[in-house]
Copies of this chain bind each other. A is one copy, B any other.
C-alpha cells in the first residue's frame, strides 16, 4: 500500500494562527510535534518511507521539507497551484498509477488528530484487505458522531457488505457535506450516519476510472500530466496543465457520485480541530474549563481558550467563554460562539488594501 499525506488544507477557521503561508497542520497544538508530523509519525511506524508520499502546494514545499525531513524528494508531490482536493487527489493518483496502476492508495488528511494510531493502522489494513475482494469500491474511514456537528461531512450507511480482518464494511448510500443543524441532529439520532474522517483508501485505477466517468475533462488533463512525467518536459506540462484543472472538492466531483462506496467505522480517537472552540480535542481543560498554550496569566476566567505562540504575555481577567489567540502579527479575541465565523474577519481583511496581508 502507498500512503499519501495531503498537506494542502488551509484551516481558515483557525485564523490567525492558520494562514495560507503556514496552515494549521504545520502547527503544534499540544506537545512539540505539529499535526503533519504526527500524521507522518503514525504511518511512518508501519510503512517504509519509500511508500509514504506527501502532497502539497509548491508554495509551502520548504516548510514540508523542513518539518518532514524523512520524506524522499521523489515522494514529495508538489502542486503548482491550489486547485482543491479533486485535482490534488487526481494528481497523486496519476503519479502513483504510472508505476503501478493497481496500487492501493491510502489518501490521508493531515490536519486531524488520531489518538489511537495502532487502531488507525489496523483499519487501513482492513480496508486494504477488503479491496482485494472489492477492488472497484472506494473506502472511507467513518467516525461515529458524538454531536450534531454541522462542520463535517456525513456518510449514510446501509447493510454490511463483508467483514475484513474482523471489521465490518458498510455499503454507503449517501455522502453529504456539511448539513444544517436539523439534518445533523436527525443523522446523529438515526444511528446510520458516520462522520467523514477524510481518510480514504482505494485502488489507483478505480479512482481514475471514476475521474474518467464523472470528470472527463479533468481526467484528460491528468492524463497529459501523467504521460509527460519523467520526461524532460514533465515539470513544464505539470506547471501548465495543473492550474487549468477544475477547482472542486473530490467529495462533490467523485465520491458523492459513485454507487460503489464503502465505509469502515473507525473508533480511532479521531478529532478535527476545525475551529478554536474545538481545541479541547487536543488539550485538557483545567478545573475551570480553561485551556492555555503559551505564556499566560488567567484570573477569574472560565471555559476559555488562550493560545499564544508569540512569546508575549497574554493576560485574561474576568472573562467567560472567550477565545484569545496571539500570533506574531495578530491578536484574535472572539466569543466561543462566534469562533465558527472567523472567516467573516478574513473576508473583511481580504477586501481591505492595507490589511489584506493579515488574511494571507
Q: A residues within 8 Å of B by Cβ?
A: 16, 295, 297, 299-300, 308, 312-319, 322, 324, 326, 329-335, 337-338, 341-342, 344-345, 348-349, 352, 355, 358
A16 contacts across to B, CB distance below 8 A:
313, 315
Q: Chain B residues near A300 (CB, 8 Å)? A: 338, 341, 344
Complexed CA–CA distance, A331 and B55 (Å): 37
> CA of A334 to CA of B315 in the docked complex: distance in angstroms?
8
Point out the residue from B308, B317, B341, B355 that lies within 8 Å of A317, measured CB to CB. B341
CB A311 to nearest CB in B, in angstroms, measures 9
Q: Which residue of B lies closest to A330 (CB)?
A: B313
A348 to B316, CA, bound (A): 12
Q: In the complex, what residue of chain B is closest to A308 when comparing beta carbons?
A: B331
Whether A317 pairs with B334 at a CB distance below 8 angstroms is yes
A322 and B313 contacting across the interface, CB-CB below 8 Å:
no
With A312-B330, A338-B300 known as contacts, the answer to whether A319 contacts B318 (CB < 8 A) is no
Q: A299-B345, A313-B330 are in contact. List 17 more A-B contacts (CB 8 A).
A: A295-B355, A297-B345, A297-B348, A297-B349, A313-B329, A313-B331, A315-B331, A315-B332, A317-B332, A318-B334, A318-B335, A318-B338, A319-B322, A319-B334, A319-B335, A322-B333, A326-B331
Q: Are B312 and A331 in contact (CB under 8 A)?
A: yes
* 29 sample A-B contacts, Cβ–Cβ < 8 Å, listed by A number: A297-B348, A297-B352, A299-B344, A299-B345, A300-B338, A300-B344, A308-B331, A312-B329, A312-B330, A313-B349, A314-B330, A314-B331, A314-B333, A315-B331, A315-B333, A315-B334, A315-B358, A317-B334, A317-B342, A317-B345, A318-B335, A318-B337, A318-B338, A319-B334, A322-B322, A322-B333, A324-B333, A331-B331, A333-B333
Which chain B residues lie closer than 8 Å to A342 at the CB level?
A: 317
Q: Which residues of B contact A337 (CB under 8 A)?
A: 318
Contacts of A326 in B (CB 8 A): 331
Give the residue name and chain of the B residue nearest to A300 (CB).
Answer: B338
- Choice from B317, B324, B335 contacting A338 with Cβ under 8 Å: B317
Of A324, A331, A342, which is in contact with the most chain B CB atoms at under 10 Å from its CB? Answer: A331
CA distance A336 to B333 in the complex (A): 14
Could you tell me the distance in whole angstroms from the C-beta of A89 to the nearest C-beta in chain B?
33
Nearest B residue to A338 via CB reads B318
For A306, give the chain B residue with the smallest CB separation.
B333
